[in-house]
Structure 1
Amino acid sequence: MTPAERGSGGVQSVDRTFELLELMADAGGEVALSQLAAGSGLPLPTIHRLMRTLLAGGYVRQQPSRRYALGPRLIRLGETASRALGSWARPYLAELTEATGETSNMAVLDGDQVVYVAQAPSRHSMRMFTEVGRRVDAHCTAVGKAVLAQLPEEAVGQVLARATMRPQTDRSITTVAAMRAELDTIRARGYAVDDGEQEVGVRCLAVAVPGAHANAAISISGPEARMGLISVDEVVPLLHRVAQSLAHELDPG
């Protein structure tokens, strides 16, 4: 997000600092100075000054190669933000689980993976269970594909360039071309599906949380046999409604 997109009335140096951190995150956490200059359009002296401040605070570190990497002090901030995000999301996920009877999840994109940050478990004894904090590859999950489908093309290209496309089951997508075609399908129909691509016998429907800076998605998951009885025409509008409400909670402005 550029400083202009953040709106007026802010402090320019703060806007620029966060822009550099976001560029680093989009690039996988490590960049060369030339990448920061190209991505931000800022003068090199300005970038040097901001990076020195981040280095001194431990928010950025410099590798022996002279490339810059995200620093360890960001871990505590991320963990605290993740817990807060989960607490905000749980009531909305509980609404989904109450309406569908299946497990609801929220996950955020982190590099080429997604991290589950909140869950409302199904009441069924046989149910989908994913630990909060678990990381999985984005290309074989409905939440991951839903987030990717709403990213700008440049950001999608960066994620897919880093992704290994490892198959988790024999249904997993394993090529960039196939993933791009899948993302086109998701954009056209408005939701993502994981049909046994991450775990055999598990089906998942997901939609992105619109406009949320966290790059998040929510989903319902369950055994294929039970999920096959759920009406997509009824559940997808519910997912979108809950996602919209959650987006307002996360970004009330």
Structure 2
Amino acid sequence: MPSVSPSSPSDGRSSSGGVQSLERAFGLLEQMADAGGEVGLSELSASTGLPLPTIHRLVRTLVACGYVRQQANRRYALGPRLIRLGESASRLLGAWARPCLVELVEKTGETANMALLDGDDVVYVAQVPSHHSVRMFTEVGRRVLPHATGVGKALLAGLPDQDVRALLSRTGMPAATGHTITDPEVFLGELRQVRERGFAMDDNEQELGVRCLAVRIPDSPTAAAISISGPAGRVSEAATERIVPVLREAARRLSRELTAAGATVG
């Protein structure tokens, strides 16, 4: 996340030509999200370099708007009004990515998914089902713990090990099947393999008989991944060698389109 600049031009504009107070407010929301959703004012001041009076003024405005709420312990947490914005943005992102997922289904023959890391959960924001009579199906909007899914592994592989350990300590590692990894150190070893080979696999770990291949979308403004899932008999080792390059190219395409969409604003 870009740092929140403590400098303050006299006309209220930032060095990028935007409105500095807005940049700072959104920067604080991102800092709170990075801290797990709850933080103190002094922590925000230390992490941003902004003086406490400025932090207090911005946070007070965010509280009044419902985007931040004050806890009983006087710390601040992300507010409920952000939920509506996040849900709408997720739906739009899923609709925008759908043509790419349709192409993935045509090229691989298997169900294609897109998912985001939202707090400690993976949330599915789009899916295009396979044309096979036997196929995988996941409801859009479904939330799952990341440790037992291909998309979850792909997303967590982009985080430092200490952040992954903290997440796993909050969520636990319940076994969905007898193949689910339930040991944090074994899981961190799995993430190292994901980084080395460039894709993640859920091999009967979320549901018996199902195999999922996933890759993270590079340079996405929010952590996102795409995947294909199908019966383990069809998503074989030979099929994996064919499918992974298709997944990687789709992820690169989505990354380029996200970058282009961002560049049109300004």
TM range (shorter): over 0.9
DSSP-derived class of the 2:206 partner: coil
User: SS at 1:89's partner residue?
Assistant: helix
Whichever residue aligns with residue 180 of structure 1, its letter is: L
Q: Which of 102, 116, 123 pairs up with 1:94? A: 102
Is 1:208 equivalent to 2:208 in the alignment?
no
Relative CO higher for 1 or 2, CA cutoff 8 Å, sep ≥ 6?
Answer: 1
Any runs of at least 4 consecutive aligned residues in structure 1 with deviations exceeding 6 A, and if so which?
Answer: 4-7
Range 89-98 or range 61-70, more displaced? 61-70
Determine if contact 1:88/1:249 at 8 Å carries over to the other structure: no
Q: Secondary structure at the match of 1:130?
A: coil
* Distance (whole Å) between structure 2 residues aligned to residue 81 and residue 93 of structure 1: 18
**8 Å Cα contact 2:3-2:48 kept in structure 1:** no
Distance between the aligned counterparts of 2:21 and 2:77, measured in 1? Answer: 20
Aligned 8 A contact 1:102 1:220 in 2: yes
Residue 238 (structure 1) aligned with residue 241 (structure 2)? no
User: CA shift at 1:199, angstroms?
Assistant: 1.0
Show the 5 A alignment for 1:20-31. Answer: 20-31=28-39
Instruction: Report percent identity of matched pairs.
Output: 61
Alpha-carbon distance in 1 for matches of 2:49, 2:35: 16
Equivalent of residue 115 in structure 2, options 98, 107, 111: 107
Return the alpha-carbon distance in structure 1 between the equivalents of residues 80 and 97 of structure 2: 26
Q: 3-state DSSP class of the match of 1:42? A: coil
Q: Larger Rg: 1 or 2?
A: 2
- Residue number among 86, 90, 110 corresponding to 1:82 in the alignment: 90
> Equivalent of 2:235, from 207, 227, 240?
227
Tell me the residue number matched to 1:46.
Answer: 54
1:32 aligns with 2:40: yes
**Aligned partner letter, 1:17:** A
Residues 121 and 145, structure 2, Cα contact 8 Å, conserved in 1: yes
Aligned residues: 253
- Name the counterpart of 2:195: 187
Per-residue Cα deviation, 1:38-84 (whole angstroms, up to 9, x for no partner): 33333222211110010011101111111211112111111110111
Q: 1:127 aligns with which of 110, 135, 155?
A: 135
Structure 1 window deviating more from structure 2 (221-230 vs 94-103): it is: 221-230
Range moving further from structure 2, 229-238 or 142-151: 229-238
Q: Is the 8 A contact 2:161 2:188 kept in 1?
A: no
Q: Which residue of 1 aligns with 2:2?
A: 2
Distance 1:124 1:206 in 2: 20
CA RMSD between the two structures? 2.0
Unmatched 5+ residue regions in structure 1? none
C-alpha displacement of 1:37? 2.9
Q: Which moved more, 1:53-62 or 1:224-233?
A: 224-233
Q: Aligned to 1:104, what secondary structure does the other structure show?
A: strand
Deviation at 1:7, TM superposition (A): 8.1
> Which residue of 1 is the match for residue 11 of structure 2?
none
Q: Give the counterpart of 2:153 among 136, 142, 145.
A: 145
Gaps of 5+ in 2: 6-13
1:193 CA drift (Å): 0.3
Aligned partners of 1:219 and 1:239 also within 8 Å: yes
Does structure 1 residue 159 correspond to structure 2 residue 153? Answer: no
